[in-house]
């Protein structure tokens, strides 16, 4: 079992885990944006974007920087998962 199943199972699990991190970040940010996130006073990216909406015409960077942090982090984890899939997928080995 350890010789046949685990070498073929760990790579897809690792890739799925890294790809799911991006979705989890987006879900947590979306929930905190609508007010269903962590306790009040906690700094979350969705809450920062939500709070910055009121000041968007005067200070657009209050929305821009947390939004870019969400984008860059999610994109980074998705690219990491895609790269890991290319490297460790047993079906791509020659």
| Model confidence, pTM | 0.82
Read out DSSP for 69-84? HHHHHHHHHHHHHHHH
Tally DSSP H helices, then E strands, for the chain: 3, 0
- Which whole number is the average pLDDT over 54-83? 95
Tell me the percentage of the chain whose pLDDT exceeds 90: 59
Q: What is the pLDDT of residues 31-52, one digit of tens each?
A: 999 989 888 888 899 999 999 9
Tokens matching residue 70: 């969400």
């Amino acid at each position: 079992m350890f010789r046949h199943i685990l070498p073929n199972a760990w790579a897809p699990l690792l890739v799925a885990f890294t790809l799911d991190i991006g979705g989890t970040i987006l879900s947590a940010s979306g929930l905190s944006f609508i007010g269903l996130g962590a306790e009040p006073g906690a700094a979350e990216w969705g809450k920062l974007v939500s709070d910055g909406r009121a000041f968007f015409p005067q200070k657009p960077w209050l929305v821009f920087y947390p939004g870019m942090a969400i984008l860059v982090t999610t994109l980074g984890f998705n690219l990491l998962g895609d790269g890991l899939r290319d490297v460790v997928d047993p079906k791509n080995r020659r």
